[in-house]
């Protein structure tokens, strides 16, 4: 049995950088415990959950039994559904009692991303507080959103408890906060459960890559600081040594993984560790899940002796960069599931545009992104920044106190300062920083590495709420431009959806495209990253994965993308300007030799 499943407590959290396999491992752990006779509830807190896709059934915002697995039930915390239920709970009692104009005003206050986050958080804490929905379960397993979102979620119980203890404010989040005071006991119980090592275990999931291991180390330290000290480490998707014998690319990947493990961050060295080997199959379906945590799996079906030679006619990233560069300025947003390589591709595009003499601002809205590690240096024509939630929040608080607070007396300033300590303030501050980055693209290129899908959709929700608010307040016939209008203008904004050629990432990318289209934003291109099918491989395991990728690529080309490009799996991590330019210009043979 894996270390992380030895004598498991009631609550298990799986977290880590996007794309490391949190969902697959959480689902496999849930199946293993259920098979052992335990009653298990599997919960996804990811706004872009794909637990239902893994099991091949529709789950949603109510607890449902998984028919193929006795003792297993599942729940996906659906932020929009949670927000609607939260709004109904607050507005319902006053509908028909207060004037319609007042009720409409309350509904407007409850229409933004702040309400969505509070509502999802409210459901999350209810599960931790041992309410009626979970009393019949021996274990509750949480498949969480990628790291940055999860750190915020796990710190919110303490943040809201402290805020309520100090007395709530009355400006930025008056509507959303209306239902919070009643939940004080629930939040205190959630904090107690999270900090109790006998009840809660946190499983950090990483890959054999320096970036994800460093991310795991940072997550370990941040969550330990808020009392989540019982932590385990799982390193997923390690290439078996036998696959490297006759394959230069596989041998290079194996060397890279060994180097990363040899340099394991000090913060992780004392944690119990489990290693999980890369599998030849996609982790979709019950049979695959039951094999994931096994030390050995059934053999790989022979597929002939001829090596896979790649996709010589597939469009390359360089063709997309040419189209991006043509207008001389604009906003380029890379979106997608966590772990698909948005940060690397954003950096590669920005570096190539800057190398052509074009002014570029490379920025990220991902709380867990680290562009400086990818760039590893400075370049002419390229400015780099990060929308840091903490820094943005402090700047916003200072601005509000210096403007709105300047006209208030001492008591009024004290109330305003208290209101600005609300965790909701962070959402407002991040949205404003996001809007400033959008405005800059009118005179230069702004390349934005966005947060993983669910968090980005919440940010777009705030953008849409702001747009509706401005439109409602402007007189008929007035001319105005909002950030949402710029995102909807294909002449000013190009959205690139990044995915891997695997079943779940492609399905999630397709759902993201549908969500963007409903918001009036048409994706410009798809990029298939780390593509084994686009690389020459001889390893039987990699060839089997390449064959399955070809089916996914055909679906992207024929059903989803207006234009598309493929970036192959590389022998070396594309870190530093030279390798990023090589990636953008498709100099892959040189990279493989390196």
Q: What is the CATH number of the domain that holds 401?
A: 3.40.50.300
Report pLDDT for 59.
Answer: 79
Is 24 noted as a catalytic residue in this protein? Answer: yes
Which is catalytic among the residues 15, 18, 23, 341?
A: 23
Indicate if 344 and 229 belong to the same structural domain. no
Q: Is residue 309 part of a domain?
A: no
Report pLDDT for 417.
Answer: 79
Indicate if 260 and 366 belong to the same structural domain. no
Report pLDDT for 338.
Answer: 72
Of 257, 292, 327, the domain-final residue:
292
Question: In 10 A of CB 424, how many CB atoms?
Answer: 25
Indicate if 33 and 147 belong to the same structural domain. yes
Report pLDDT for 310.
Answer: 64
Q: Is residue 308 part of a domain?
A: no
Q: Is residue 208 part of a domain?
A: yes
User: Length of the chain in residues, anyone?
Assistant: 594
Pairwise CA distance, residues 28 & 15, whole Å:
14
Encode the chain (594 residues) as per-residue pLDDT tens digits.
799 999 999 999 888 776 788 888 999 999 999 999 999 999 887 655 667 777 777 777 788 899 889 999 998 877 677 777 777 777 777 788 777 777 777 666 666 555 666 676 677 777 877 667 788 899 999 887 644 444 445 555 454 445 445 554 443 443 444 445 556 667 677 777 878 888 889 899 999 988 789 888 988 888 888 777 889 999 999 999 999 888 999 999 999 999 999 999 999 999 999 999 998 877 777 888 888 888 654 444 444 555 565 676 789 899 999 999 999 999 999 988 777 888 899 999 999 999 999 999 998 876 555 677 778 777 899 998 887 777 878 888 888 889 888 888 888 888 777 767 665 676 677 777 777 877 888 889 999 887 654 445 555 555 555 445 545 554 455 544 566 777 888 888 999 999 999 887 888 889 888 888 887 889 999 999 999 999 888 898 999 899 889 989 999 999 999 999 999 988 888 888 888 888 887 764 434 433
Report pLDDT for 250.
Answer: 93
Indicate if 278 and 323 belong to the same structural domain. no
Indicate if 102 and 52 belong to the same structural domain. yes
Report pLDDT for 458.
Answer: 52
Indicate if 324 and 288 belong to the same structural domain. no
Pairwise CA distance, residues 323 & 344, whole Å:
19
Cα distances (Å, whole numbers) of residue 577 to 150, 377, 573, 587? 31, 7, 12, 13
Indicate if 278 and 394 belong to the same structural domain. no
> Which residues are 156's β-sheet partners?
none
Do residues 43 and 139 make contact, with C-beta atoms less than 8 angstroms apart? no
Is 19 noted as a catalytic residue in this protein? Answer: yes
Which is catalytic among the residues 15, 16, 22, 212?
A: 22
Tokens 């906060």, residue located? 177
Is 539 noted as a catalytic residue in this protein? Answer: no
Q: Is residue 520 part of a domain?
A: yes
Of 276, 292, 308, the domain-final residue:
292
Query: 413 by DSSP, 3-state: which?
Result: helix
Q: Is residue 469 part of a domain?
A: yes
Of 277, 292, 307, the domain-final residue:
292
Report pLDDT for 165.
Answer: 52
Is 23 noted as a catalytic residue in this protein? Answer: yes
Q: Is residue 487 part of a domain?
A: yes
Which is catalytic among the residues 44, 46, 143, 200?
A: 46
Indicate if 258 and 376 belong to the same structural domain. no
Which is catalytic among the residues 24, 316, 422, 463?
A: 24
Question: In 10 A of CB 317, how many CB atoms?
Answer: 22
Dump the DSSP string for 140-183: EEEEPPPHHHHHHHHHHHHHHHHHHHH---SSTTHHHHTTTGGG
Report pLDDT for 483.
Answer: 66
> Domain limits at 47?
3-292
Cα distances (Å, whole numbers) of residue 465 to 389, 441, 536? 20, 22, 48
> Which residues are 497's β-sheet partners?
335, 526
Do residues 565 and 537 make contact, with C-beta atoms less than 8 angstroms apart? no
Q: Is residue 232 part of a domain?
A: yes
Indicate if 394 and 523 belong to the same structural domain. yes
Indicate the DSSP class of residue 98.
Answer: B
Which is catalytic among the residues 19, 208, 210, 338?
A: 19
Do residues 355 and 581 make contact, with C-beta atoms less than 8 angstroms apart? yes
Indicate if 65 and 200 belong to the same structural domain. yes
What is the 3-state secondary structure of 79-92?
HHHHHHHHHHHHHH
Q: Is residue 311 part of a domain?
A: no
Buried b (16+ CB within 10 A) or exposed e, 437-458: bbebbeebbbbbbbbbbbbbbb
Which is catalytic among the residues 134, 363, 504, 539?
A: 504
Is 301 noted as a catalytic residue in this protein? Answer: no
Question: What residues have CB less than 8 Å from 429, skipping those under 6 apart?
Answer: 389, 392, 393, 395, 396, 397
Question: What residues have CB less than 8 Å from 485, skipping those under 6 apart?
Answer: 467
Is 342 noted as a catalytic residue in this protein? Answer: no
Indicate if 403 and 288 belong to the same structural domain. no
For the record, the structure tokens of 59 come out as 């789950």
Work out how many domains the chain is built from and give that number. 2
Do residues 553 and 528 make contact, with C-beta atoms less than 8 angstroms apart? yes
Indicate if 53 and 119 belong to the same structural domain. yes
Which is catalytic among the residues 21, 169, 210, 338?
A: 21
Pairwise CA distance, residues 568 & 577, whole Å:
18
């Amino acid at each position: 049995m894996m270390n992380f499943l030895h004598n498991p407590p009631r609550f298990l959290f799986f977290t880590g950088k996007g794309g490391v396999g949190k969902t697959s491992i959480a689902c496999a752990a849930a199946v293993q415990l259920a098979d052992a006779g335990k009653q298990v509830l599997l919960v996804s807190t990811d706004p872009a959950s794909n637990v239902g896709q893994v099991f091949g059934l529709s789950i949603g915002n109510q607890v449902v039994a998984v028919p193929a697995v006795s003792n297993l039930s599942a729940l996906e915390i659906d932020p929009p559904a949670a927000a609607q239920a939260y709004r109904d709970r607050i507005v319902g009692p006053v509908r028909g009692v207060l004037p319609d104009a007042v009720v409409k005003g309350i509904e407007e206050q409850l229409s933004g991303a702040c309400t969505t986050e509070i509502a999802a958080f409210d459901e999350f804490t209810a599960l931790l507080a041992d309410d009626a929905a979970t009393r019949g379960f021996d274990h509750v397993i949480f498949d969480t959103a990628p790291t940055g979102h999860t750190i915020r979620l796990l710190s919110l119980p303490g943040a809201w408890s402290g805020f309520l203890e100090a007395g709530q404010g009355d400006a930025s989040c008056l509507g959303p906060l209306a239902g919070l005071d009643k939940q004080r006991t629930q939040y205190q119980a959630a904090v107690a459960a999270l900090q109790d090592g006998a009840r809660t275990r946190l499983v950090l999931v990483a890959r054999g890559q320096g970036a994800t291991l460093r991310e795991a180390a940072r997550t370990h330290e941040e969550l330990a600081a808020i009392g989540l000290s019982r932590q385990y480490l799982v390193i997923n998707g390690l290439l078996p040594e036998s696959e490297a014998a006759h394959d230069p690319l596989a041998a290079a990947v194996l060397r890279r993984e060994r180097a990363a493990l040899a340099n394991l961050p000090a913060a992780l060295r004392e944690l119990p560790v489990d290693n999980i080997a890369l599998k030849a199959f996609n982790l979709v379906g019950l049979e695959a899940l039951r094999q994931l945590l096994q030390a050995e799996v059934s053999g790989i079906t022979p597929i002939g002796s001829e090596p896979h030679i790649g996709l010589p006619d597939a469009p390359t990233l360089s063709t997309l960069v040419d189209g991006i560069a043509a207008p001389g300025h604009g906003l380029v947003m890379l979106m997608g599931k966590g772990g698909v390589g948005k940060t690397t591709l954003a950096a590669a595009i920005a570096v190539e545009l800057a190398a052509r003499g074009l002014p570029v601002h490379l920025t990220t809205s991902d709380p867990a992104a680290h562009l400086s590690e990818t760039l590893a240096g400075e370049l002419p024509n390229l400015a780099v920044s990060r929308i840091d939630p903490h820094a943005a929040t402090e700047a916003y608080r200072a601005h509000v106190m210096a403007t709105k607070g300047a006209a208030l007396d001492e008591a009024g300033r004290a109330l305003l300062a208290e209101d600005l300590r609300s965790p909701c303030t962070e959402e407002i501050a991040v949205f404003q920083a996001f809007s400033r980055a959008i405005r800059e693209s009118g005179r230069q290129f702004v390349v934005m590495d966005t947060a993983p899908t669910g968090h980005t959709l919440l940010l777009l929700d705030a953008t849409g709420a702001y747009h509706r608010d401005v439109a409602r307040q402007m007189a008929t016939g007035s001319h105005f431009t909002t950030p949402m209008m710029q995102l909807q203008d294909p002449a000013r904004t190009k959205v690139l959806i990044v995915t891997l050629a695997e079943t779940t990432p492609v399905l999630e990318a397709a759902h993201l495209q549908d969500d963007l289209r409903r918001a009036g934003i048409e994706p410009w291109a798809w990029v298939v990253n780390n593509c084994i099918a686009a690389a020459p491989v001889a390893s039987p395991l990699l060839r089997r994965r390449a064959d399955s990728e070809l089916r996914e690529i055909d679906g992207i080309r024929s059903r989803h993308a207006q234009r598309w490009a493929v970036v192959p799996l590389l022998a070396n991590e594309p870190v530093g300007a030279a390798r990023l330019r090589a990636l953008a210009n498709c100099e892959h043979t040189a990279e493989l030799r390196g």
